Amino acid sequence: MKKSIAVLISVLLVVSLCLVGCSGGGSGTVASQDQPAEKSAAATEATATESAETSASAAGNAASGNEDLLVFIADTTNESQGYSAKQFEKYGSEYGFQVKIMSDEGDAQKQSTAIGNAVTAGAKVIFVNPCDINAIVPALQSAKDAGVKIGLYSSDLAEENASVRDFFVGANDDDAGKFAAEAFNKKFPDGAKIVEVMGQTGHDAQIKRHSGFDKYKNDNIEVLDSKGVTQWATAEAMAIMEDFIVKYGDEIQGVFCHWDNGATGVIEALKSAGMNDVYVVAVDGCKAGFDQVESGKQSVTIMQNFVTMAQKAMEVARNAIDGKDFEVVNYIDFDVVTKDNIKDFEVPEW
């Protein structure tokens, strides 16, 4: 009887990360968006098969009394996602989880398929970091209808879809935009003309960093232009900045870039144009951001703490599994890093 009860209360936790940035961080190259249909179909089938087999294996482990934590990564070459995965692996055992890293290759359909496979295999709790906060809703709703607890990691759903998830753990990207706006307000009290290089269009971080910035910047901070990328890629950010330079030239006094690795491309474009005095603010607090702030090429990086974020995610999931109280929305604070205080922070690994 005790063994049967143990079997019934065993759970499978799936964490699906698609970012980001998620939050953000590009590899410096733009991934091709045009894949041959046959190749795409084969890749989707292979990923679905791998996800199903892994989920079934995890379910077997859960039935034997172990609790598996499957971490589905959109692209392990993405700096923030890869770093987050390492934190889940590093600290998982402290929360009673055995972590296994998987990859969704940044495809929303593959992510939805993986969620379905996990539910079929007996998942009780699912963590998802959606590539597209609207496209993922049907898959999450199906999981919810099946009795699965839904957790969002790093990026949240739109407010109108919040009822689909049970809890969220991540940064408040409205605050990232707010802190960026405050940096520009302080730097340019008499006003300035700037441009905004936004993150992946449709991503929660892109939407909220833009809206938070727009809400809190002073009216005399004029945004000449803004444009988002299709992926969190350094090369895309550089191309957008090059176009802005052609259009606006020396009118540009500042740049708000939604992620540090994107700022790397922005800085390179500015350097090529001989524009070395432009005020650059970006988000993430990754190693590239730290290096650029320390060198003076970037003025501010608004830092996320993915270690604390991963730990909190597993803490909330554990409480949910064990029937304990937990907060529905769990925000992890940002740190505003400048050349004046950078020595107060440990240089991130990613």
Q: Do 259 and 140 reside in the same domain of the chain?
A: no
Residue at 161 is within a domain: yes
Total of domains in the chain: 2
> What percent of the chain is predicted at pLDDT more than 70?
76
Q: What tens digit of pLDDT does each residue of 323-338 get?
A: 999 999 999 999 999 9
Q: Give the contacts of 101 (CB within 8 A, at least 6 positions apart).
A: 71, 73, 76, 85, 88, 89
Q: What tens digit of pLDDT does each residue of 50-84 get?
A: 444 444 444 444 443 457 666 666 666 677 878 88
Can you tell me whether residue 125 is helix, strand or coil? strand
Residue at 137 is within a domain: yes
Q: Do 294 and 315 reside in the same domain of the chain?
A: no
Q: Do 145 and 93 reside in the same domain of the chain?
A: yes
Q: Which of 268, 254, 282 is nearest to 23 (CA)?
A: 282
Mean pLDDT of 28-43: 38
* Statement: residue 2 has pLDDT above 70: no
Of 60 and 273, the one with more pLDDT: 273
User: What pLDDT score was predicted for residue 69?
Assistant: 63
User: What pLDDT score was predicted for residue 146?
Assistant: 93
Cα separations in angstroms, 292 against 69, 241, 288 = 35, 17, 6
Q: Give the contacts of 316 (CB within 8 A, at least 6 positions apart).
A: 151, 167, 169, 326, 327, 330
What's the maximum distance between 2 C-alpha atoms anywhere in the chain? 76
User: What pLDDT score was predicted for residue 68?
Assistant: 64
Q: Facing residues of 17 across strands?
A: 73, 129
* Statement: residue 254 has pLDDT above 70: yes
User: What pLDDT score was predicted for residue 57?
Assistant: 47
Q: Do 197 and 259 reside in the same domain of the chain?
A: yes
What is the Cα–Cα distance from 285 to 293, expressed in whole angstroms?
10
Is residue 154 left, alpha or beta, with left meaning phi > 0 and alpha meaning psi from -120 to 50? left
User: What pLDDT score was predicted for residue 320?
Assistant: 86
Of 108-117, 144-153, 261-270, give the range with the top mean pLDDT: 261-270
CATH number of the domain at 275, please.
Answer: 3.40.50.2300
Of 107 and 257, the one with more pLDDT: 257
Q: Do 103 and 183 reside in the same domain of the chain?
A: no
Q: Do 194 and 299 reside in the same domain of the chain?
A: yes
Tell me 230's DSSP state: S
User: What pLDDT score was predicted for residue 274?
Assistant: 98
Q: Do 246 and 282 reside in the same domain of the chain?
A: yes
Q: Do 183 and 295 reside in the same domain of the chain?
A: yes
**237-238-242 Cα angle (round to 5):** 120
Q: How many CA atoms lie within 13 A of 236 on its CB side?
A: 24
Q: Do 298 and 178 reside in the same domain of the chain?
A: yes
User: What pLDDT score was predicted for residue 202?
Assistant: 85
Residue at 262 is within a domain: yes
Mean pLDDT of 216-221: 99
User: What pLDDT score was predicted for residue 155?
Assistant: 84
Residue at 193 is within a domain: yes
What is the Cα–Cα distance from 330 to 327, expressed in whole angstroms?
6
Residue at 38 is within a domain: no
What is the Cα–Cα distance from 93 to 84, expressed in whole angstroms?
15
- Name the average pLDDT for the chain: 82
Q: Which of 152, 153, 183 is nearest to 335 (CA)?
A: 183
Mean pLDDT of 78-99: 85
Band the pLDDT of 130: cuts 50, 70, 90. confident
- Which residue has tokens 């699965």? 148
User: What pLDDT score was predicted for residue 114?
Assistant: 87
Q: Do 131 and 251 reside in the same domain of the chain?
A: no
Band the pLDDT of 18: cuts 50, 70, 90. very low
N-to-C CA span, the chain: 48
Q: Do 299 and 311 reside in the same domain of the chain?
A: no
What is the Cα–Cα distance from 302 to 172, expressed in whole angstroms?
12
Residue at 16 is within a domain: no
User: What pLDDT score was predicted for residue 311?
Assistant: 94
User: What pLDDT score was predicted for residue 128?
Assistant: 85
DSSP-assigned states of every residue in 291-349: HHHHHTS-SEEEE--HHHHHHHHHHHHHHHHTT----SEEEPPPEEEETTTGGGSPPP-
Mean pLDDT of 255-278: 98
Residue at 349 is within a domain: no
Q: Do 197 and 268 reside in the same domain of the chain?
A: yes
What is the Cα–Cα distance from 123 to 192, expressed in whole angstroms?
52
* Statement: residue 183 has pLDDT above 90: yes
Can you tell me whether residue 282 is helix, strand or coil? strand
Mean pLDDT of 92-114: 81
* Domain carrying residue 187: 173-303
- Tell how strand 254-257 and strand 279-284 pair up: parallel
Of 347 and 50, the one with more pLDDT: 347
Q: What tens digit of pLDDT does each residue of 134-175 get?
A: 899 999 999 999 988 888 988 899 999 999 999 999 999 999
User: What pLDDT score was predicted for residue 5?
Assistant: 36
> What percent of the chain is predicted at pLDDT more than 90?
54
Band the pLDDT of 41: cuts 50, 70, 90. very low
Residue at 256 is within a domain: yes
